[in-house]
C-alpha cells in the first residue's frame, strides 16, 4: 500500500555572488492589501486622482490642501449666498451639485478606507500597507513640498 511522504519545505538560500534584486524584493519586501480594504481603497484612489487632475486643470497646481480643505470651503462660500439670496446664475447651481456629489463620494470613500483599515489592524498585511503609505506620504512631502 502506498503512503505519501510528508512534504518538506526548504528555504531557498541565495548563493554568494549571485544576487538578484527581483528575488530580494519578492522574498523580503511585499506590498499586500487586505481583501476587505482593496475595493474601498481603489474607489478612493480613483476619486483622489480625479480630484488631483481637476485641481491641476483649473488651478495649474497640485495641492492636497485644496483637495481636502480648500474645495470644501469654496463650496460652502457659494452654498451660503445661494441659500440666503437664491439662485443668481445657473453656474452656481451646477457647481454646487457637481462639487457636492464629488466631495460626498470623496469623504465617504475616505471614511470607508479608514474604517476597514482599522477593523483589519490585527492582520500583518494591513500594517505593511500602512507602512508603505507612510513612506509614500513622507516621500511626497519631502520631494514635492508645494503639494502640501
Q: How does DSSP classify residue 60?
A: S
- pTM score, whole prediction: 0.61
In the chain, where the domains are located: 33-147
- Give CA–CA dist 5/34, Å, rounded: 34
Q: What is the pLDDT along the chain (148 residues), one digit of tens a residue?
A: 666 666 555 555 545 556 676 776 666 565 566 778 788 888 888 988 888 888 788 777 777 777 777 888 888 887 887 777 776 655 677 778 888 888 889 899 989 988 888 887 776 777 777 777 788 778 877 777 666 5
CA Rg value for the chain:
24
Q: How does DSSP classify residue 68?
A: I
- Give CA–CA dist 100/123, Å, rounded: 35
- Give CA–CA dist 68/83, Å, rounded: 23
Amino acid at each position: 500500500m502506498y503512503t505519501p511522504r510528508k512534504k518538506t519545505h526548504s528555504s531557498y538560500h541565495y548563493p554568494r555572488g549571485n544576487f538578484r534584486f527581483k528575488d530580494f524584493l519578492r522574498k523580503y519586501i511585499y506590498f499586500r492589501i487586505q481583501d476587505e480594504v482593496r475595493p474601498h481603497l481603489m474607489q478612493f484612489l480613483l476619486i483622489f486622482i480625479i480630484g488631483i487632475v481637476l485641481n491641476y486643470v483649473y488651478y495649474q497646481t497640485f495641492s492636497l490642501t485644496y483637495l481636502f480643505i480648500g474645495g470644501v470651503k469654496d463650496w460652502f462660500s457659494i452654498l451660503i449666498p445661494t441659500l440666503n439670496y437664491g439662485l443668481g446664475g445657473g453656474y452656481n447651481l451646477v457647481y454646487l451639485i457637481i462639487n457636492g456629489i464629488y466631495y460626498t463620494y470623496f469623504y465617504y470613500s475616505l471614511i470607508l478606507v479608514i474604517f476597514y483599515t482599522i477593523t483589519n489592524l490585527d492582520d500583518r498585511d494591513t500594517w505593511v500597507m500602512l507602512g508603505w503609505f507612510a513612506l509614500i506620504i513622507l516621500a511626497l512631502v519631502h520631494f514635492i513640498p508645494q503639494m502640501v
